[in-house]
Amino acid sequence: MTIPEIASLRRGSSRVRIPPSMDVPMTGRVRRLVDTPPLRRLGSISQLGLVSLVYPGATHSRLEHSLGVYANALRVLDHFSSLDNTFDPLAQEAFIVAALVHDSGHWPFCHPIEDMGNSLSGPNRQLGAGMRKHEDRVAAILRDSEIAVCLQQDWSCTADDVMAILRPKSFADRPQCQLTSRDVSFLASCLSGPIDIDKLDYLQRDSLHAGVPYGRNFDPERIISALCPHPSQPQLAISEKGRTAAEMMVFGRYVMFSEVYWHHTVRAATAMLQRALFALQHETDHSTHPITCDLAAWCDLADADWIAAFRAAAAASSVQTLVEGLFGPSRTLLKRAAEFNVESGGEVHSLLARRPYWWLVECSRSLAKIWSEELGREIDPSLVLIDAPPVKLEVDINIDVITRSGDVMTLGDVSPVASVLANRQFDNHVKRVRVFVPANLRDAIGELTDDANAWVQSGLTRAAELTDDSVV
């Protein structure tokens, strides 16, 4: 059985053009999927969210990215068919649909909010009740939206087939899944792994729209042509001929995190968004401030509507300054007082990295109190923000490489560039601990000491000890 979407790669058919000069094949059934409200909504949700405050061109949508991932899925399936390593047509269809819908559960600023973990929940909280992770929202969308009708009428795969690929650990709990466990594991690794069709798209697309070269300095066609099944496990590997391209992709991902996704100004904006949401959920008296921050109800909004609801909820609250600094008429972001990486600030980094978000809030309150005493001035604790690597880790970069002799080695074993990143957790290299404060407080710290990092480190250490003592 020929999959029409794969066949359309080589023959004239309807196509959609997306940057950078990419033709995306559109069969009738794919167009019907793309025209459903859940996927159309992705056209009004930014792929990079707050990054556009630093890189103004980075306003591309999640729909554009989803089409790019879908196009990559077709190229990967076509590549494996050329190796006489074809999959059951049902599995191929499920993989194509999974590539198209993998981001359909996202809402505006989804990743910074999910990085807060359970800190937006609590026994006394009703606001935002019913929020689900974006992956879980996809399952509901596949079953309860117009996409369910498309699956039933146009595709042989079920919602369980698609979700098994998107969430392979749930395979055993999906009774209507028709795929083999081997196909599920392998195709899941093609969509989410050290090297996958998602990263192949977003690194290049984000780099293009941000106007930086870092994510485009690798050869995606070479990588796809070098992909191969792992000889002993149901997962994706890469042949030795793709080693250099994979090496450059890994390094490109590292630099994109360092210079774009975790750029210090992007993180200042992220810290402001998270702190404002936390305050609206936990620190607002709703008897006097009736407009609520109902995150669950906001999950179906477009960016513009979400921002309008957020500004309305923050109006006249303790965090209005933060919210208006992000989304008001003038951009006013907090400034970096100090930062600590794993090499030069390892003690502070290990002390604060991967702490729960609520703990960071408590620590920032203690830090504001310590500084108030040392500087002899009252410091608003909602304007002292600690930003640290979240609990959830990024996917490892250490894909297996199949040598010409058939041996299996990790990329870190055969690549001197990748070995440094592979031997130490990726997050520890690219995600730093930072403290953000208003400009006047940063200036006051600079007037007090010639070594702001050391002064801030002393306060952070004390604040962390106080916080740990208070929550024991």
Question: Exposed, middle or buried, 238 (CB in 10 Å: 0-12/13-18/19+)?
Answer: buried
Coil, strand or helix at 226: helix
- pLDDT for 49: 97
Average pLDDT over residues 158-187: 93
Q: How many CB atoms lie within 10 A of CB 304?
A: 10
Determine the residue type at 124. Answer: N
DSSP 241: G
Which of the four pLDDT bands, split at 50, 70 and 90, describes residue 471?
confident
Token look-up 């809402």 returns 107
pTM of structure: 0.93
Instruction: Give the relative orientation of helices 134-144 and 146-154 as an angle to the nearest 10 degrees.
Output: 60
Which backbone phi and psi does 205 adopt, to 5 degrees? Answer: -70, -45
Which of the four pLDDT bands, split at 50, 70 and 90, describes residue 463?
very high
Tokens standing for residue 58: 């980075």
Tokens standing for residue 142: 């596949």
- pLDDT for 472: 61
Instruction: Point out which residues pair with 340 in neighbouring strands.
Output: 433
Would you say residue 70 has pLDDT above 60? yes
**Cα–Cα distance, 339 to 271 (Å, whole number):** 14
- pLDDT for 425: 59
Helix (H) or strand (E) holding 24: strand 22-25
Among 411, 403, 407, smallest CA distance to 194 is for 411
Which of the four pLDDT bands, split at 50, 70 and 90, describes residue 32?
very high
Instruction: Give the relative orientation of helices 439-448 and 357-375 as an angle to the nearest 10 degrees.
Output: 50
Lowest mean pLDDT among 34-43, 186-195, 337-346, 461-470: 337-346
Average pLDDT over residues 298-326: 95
Among 361, 426, 437, smallest CA distance to 394 is for 426
Which range, 34-38, 288-292, 392-396, 468-472, is most confident? 34-38
